Copies of this chain bind each other. A is one copy, B any other.
Amino acid sequence: MTAAPLRLHPDRLFPADPDTRAVARRLYAEVVDLPIVSPHGHTDPRWFAEDAPFGDASSLLLQPDHYVFRMLYSQGVPLEAIGIGAPVDPRAAWRVLADHYHLFRGTPSRLWLDWVFHSVFGLDVRLAPETADLYFDSINEQLARPEFRPRALFDRFNIELLATTESPLDSLDHHAMIRASGWKGRVITAFRPDPVVDPDYEGFADNLDRLGAMTGEDVGSYAGYLAALRARRAAFAAAGATSTDHGHPTAATADLDRGEAERLYAQVRGGRATAEQAELFRAHMLTVMAGMSIDDGLVMQIHPGSFRNHNTELFRRFGRDKGADIPTRTDFVRALRPLLGRFGNDPRLSLILFTLDESAYARELAPLAGHYPALKLGPAWWFHDSPEGMRRFRRQTTETAGFHNLVGFNDDTRAFLSIPARHDVARRIDCGYLAELVVEHQLDEDEAVDLAVDLTCRLVKSAYRL
């Protein structure tokens, strides 16, 4: 059997209608060469600090990608077979992926991986059982070359800015190394305080102790705790951060008075908080963080609504981030009211809200963002960062929120090699959406060009203060 060809069609993801496709092509031509601005993601700053070669195909493209291994797992592949939780021959792991590559038909993983295979590694046959070794050998051979090191790829990918995400307990040493290295690539951090704000986070009490030690503040008191957080925010800002990020189970916010907050902190700090108190503390701290954002100018992101580690047995055996985080229904209207009541009318605050609950797009989020000066909507997130997911986002938010209460695209990924593919998917879907508005005569084409550039970079830079 001859291997099927792997091609990336120049019209991929554009609407089928020929007139609309022609407009989409013209719009896309205006943005295809614009640099990538990636204001939120999870790549490892060590890569750019040390600039060491990446390892093999499996450790780079398979084992860290929870989109990929959860799909294999859902179809009965043990995680150990691909080297998670157990050592494995990387070639054998790669063959497992190749044997199951048909599972990814119709998924965004397929789009991203095919782009990496073809555009980064020059492969021109489809991944399949009979091409597994060709892929594995070719990718590994190329990864050993200087032009495939992290910084070289960063430059080749035309990345203007890349934000990583770190815990307040991170030393930010890798970011310091990057800045000290003389390399021109702009890699900045973002402040993700969950380990020291969420009482249910693993090791919360120890994390507070470390926070105190790092900052010299007395985290035994609420005042010291707040001072420690302010100190770390300042350190992050000094390392280039322009944003914070908050990954709470719900969107609940609260605005406690000082006495209540102090008493609640004492409970939480002492490890005696009930589930309700833990939730209330997280809720209160979102409002506190919004206040600190007004002071120090850091843009605030909230990523709520994921039920983490739904699969208890898997969590016990393999730990966090193993594909068992499941979205839940999320209320925003009542949940955000305390924070918005305090700071929602303050244009100094830039609060970017994400959701995994698409039913809130048109019902809650677009109306909120289309009213409150402080509020903007982040792009389609995680499971919804896909062609259809992005289309639903555009169609369900634009008519109420307009384009200017949105913030362009986030890749939100740890899969560095797929970053250009992800931005390319977003640009293509956006140009297709705008082309539809043009062909339906809702917009003139000059306006659509303007909006395509807005969505690709101008809105990103303004919303994230880059």
Contacts and interface: CB of A to CB of B under 8 A. Distances in A.
Given A331-B329, A383-B367, A441-B11, A399 B405 contact: no
A444 B4 contact: yes
A14 B326 contact: no
A415 interface: no
A403 interface: yes
Contact of A307 (B311, B333, B405): B333
Contacts of A442: 12-13, 106, 110-111, 387
A50 to B, nearest CB: 33
Given A4-B444, A13-B441, A106-B398, A405 B328 contact: no
Contact of A399 (B13, B358, B363, B387): B387
B388 A399 contact: yes
A399 B74 contact: no
Contacts of A384: 362
Interface string A288-318: 0000000000000000000100111110000
Given A373-B76, A399-B106, A333 B328 contact: yes
A325 B444 CA distance: 31
A340 interface: yes
A192 to B, nearest CB: 22
For the complex formed by this chain, how many copies does it contain in all?
3
A370 interface: yes
Interface residues of A, number: 95
A107 B313 CA distance: 45
Contact of A71 (B19, B341, B370, B444): B370
A55 interface: no
Contact of A4 (B70, B398, B446): B446
Interface string A355-393: 011110011101111111101000000011011110000
Contacts of A441: 8-9, 11-13
A20 B331 CA distance: 39
Nearest to A444: B4
A269 to B, nearest CB: 29
A359 B363 contact: yes
Interface of A: 4, 8-9, 11-20, 70-71, 73-76, 102-108, 110-111, 126, 307, 310-314, 323-329, 331, 333-334, 337, 340-341, 344-345, 347, 356-359, 362-364, 366-373, 375, 383-384, 386-389, 395-396, 398-405, 436-437, 439-444, 446-447, 450-451
Given A16-B440, A311-B340, 9 more contacts: A17-B17, A70-B371, A74-B372, A106-B403, A310-B337, A327-B363, A329-B359, A388-B396, A388-B399
Q: Return the 7 tightest CB-CB contacts between A and B, nearest first.
A: A9-B441, A12-B441, A386-B399, A16-B17, A359-B359, A76-B347, A106-B398
13 contacts: A13-B440, A74-B375, A75-B405, A105-B403, A107-B399, A111-B442, A310-B337, A310-B340, A311-B371, A326-B368, A328-B364, A358-B363, A389-B399
